[in-house]
Structure 1
């Protein structure tokens, strides 16, 4: 039997509800900087929903310490009951999924990959074509 659309739709609805709660209702001092929900994955049986949290600091680099990240996850875990009850109120479900919170590390991984690629000193296609054009201009 094929995978249905329901987990994806439910995940998007949960993301919308929790994002709205972050703006209006959840006022924990451990939410430092800009905190948002980047994605929600719901299991096929809708028993668990994993919420991926993205947080940017207020410093110019936007990096948070591990202690601040742990504080943000702890704030979400302490507000889990309120979040689940709001999800149950807005989405008519017989069973509201259990919420798991994880930090989204895709931005950090992307920065790491950029650093690795920049250290390789590989010229891009644009640089190669520009160099070829210059060499052709000097020949004429």
Structure 2
């Protein structure tokens, strides 16, 4: 049952953070950020928030700085919206899986092009 709850809380955090980052964070450094997943610890004390940031390495670094600056605000808003007794500590991690997938896709495309020649 506890596993179920952490999953639900994680999904809810993902939804709320997506909306908050898109509509509420006014920091110009925060570019096009997508929340791809959230892992919540079983005691709900921490939430690892996986994000995908559109742009080059510099843009990603700037967006992360902006999100870290907005961390307190995001956590406070999350607490208000979700009505949890304790809002989990948020830890942002860049999700490389989408980038990795598109790189593999590109490499496979190059291989098939080479074979057709």
The TM-score normalised by the length of structure 1 is: 0.72
Match of 1:115 among 86, 106, 109: 106
Aligned to 2:81: 90
Looking at structure 1, the residues matched to 68 and 90 of structure 2 have their Cα atoms a distance apart, in angstroms, of: 9
Segments of structure 1 that go 5 or more residues without pairing to the other structure are 57-63, 122-140
Greater RCO between the two (CA within 8 Å, min separation 6)? 2
1:5 partner SS:
helix
SS in 1 for 2:3: coil
- 5+ residue gaps, structure 2, are 113-117
How many positions carry a matched residue from both structures? 113
Match of 1:40 among 33, 38, 41: 38
Moved >4 Å (runs of 4+):
none
Match of 2:18 in 1: 19
Instruction: Specify the structure having the higher radius of gyration (Cα).
Output: 1
Alignment of 1:1-140 (within 5 A): 4-32=3-31, 34-56=32-54, 64-121=55-112
